[in-house]
Amino acid sequence: MKEISLVAIATVGFAVPVLAADLSARPFTKAQPMVAAIYDWSGFYVGANGGWGGDRKCWSLVNNGAPTIDVGCNSGNGGVAGGQVGYRWQAANWVFGAEAQGDWANLKGSSISLVNPLVTNQSQVNAFGLFTGQVGYALYDALLYVKGGAAVAADKYNGLGTTTGIVFDRASETRWGSTVGAGIEFGFAPNWSAAVEYDHLFMGSANNTFISTGWGPNNKVAAGGLERIVNIRQDVDMVAARINYRWGNPAVPKY
């Protein structure tokens, strides 16, 4: 009888640790970490911009087919403000887009003629527009991009008496050219982004017909008559801050 009891005790003693091992808690499995969210730049957007612009214009007299006479250059600078609308689509990290931008401007400059010091040539860029394509590279909520396309500018020109300041002739034009630019944009909230952008406008050269106001230095040309023909070469630079609202997908977390 004692032998049976000892055998039973030994059997139970062996079985208890085995059962305890079987009943031990399951190992804890750590949750899969979340991967950084994907920021999607795709969608239509509309925005506003404002900043500084500067232009340089060089004037040359080309009257009646006579030899061209350089009369000097002037530089104007001032504020720019306007808006933009566009569309972007994203493929992996690459972002492609198209945009139209229109701005009011006040880029005004003047210089005394190198040929006749009694004449001061004055120019002003009143507005411009950009119609561009974009290519960018996205780093989550940061976008580096370049742009290029067509540009148009509204220009006004005056001839002033240097001593009197009276306008004796004037001209105006709408000129087409080309533009290139680059910027960096950050998404700071769902569907909202802010950017800083630089653009250069290549506006080429064009002949402008100046019409007399009747107040010329020597009063030789009656009001409404042809005073002079001037070829004007123009370039514009602009740096602006921008803010955009985009209709599209915000950042989406991915696991």
Q: How many domains does the chain have?
A: 1
At 27 the pLDDT is: 55
- Residue ranges of the chain whose pLDDT lies below 50: 1-21, 23, 34-36, 253-255
Q: Is residue 26 part of a domain?
A: no
Q: How many Cα atoms within 13 Å fall on the side-chain side of residue 235?
A: 8
DSSP code per residue over 198-217: EEEEEEEEEEEEEEE-S--S
Q: Which helix (H) or strand (E) holds 14?
A: helix 2-22
User: Which residue type is seen at 10?
Assistant: A
Phi first, then psi: what are they for 23, rounded to 5°? Answer: -95, 5
At 23 the pLDDT is: 47
> With contact defined as beta carbons under 8 Å apart, do 187 and 138 qualify?
no
Q: Pairing relation of β-strands 119-139 and 43-61?
A: unpaired
| Strands (DSSP E) found in the chain | 35-38, 43-61, 69-91, 94-112, 119-139, 142-161, 167-189, 192-212, 226-248, 252-254
DSSP three-state, residue 52: strand
Q: Quick one: tokens of 66?
A: 């006579």
Separation CA 20–CA 235 (nearest Å)? 86
Longest pairwise C-alpha distance within the chain: 146
Length of the chain, in residues = 255
Q: The domain that contains 217 carries what CATH number? A: 2.40.160.20
Q: Is residue 92 part of a domain?
A: yes
Separation CA 61–CA 197 (nearest Å)? 36
Q: Is residue 8 part of a domain?
A: no
Q: Is residue 41 part of a domain?
A: yes
Q: Is residue 215 part of a domain?
A: yes
Q: Is residue 56 part of a domain?
A: yes
Residue 95, domain extent: 35-254
Q: Quick one: tokens of 13?
A: 């003693």
User: Which residue type is seen at 15?
Assistant: A
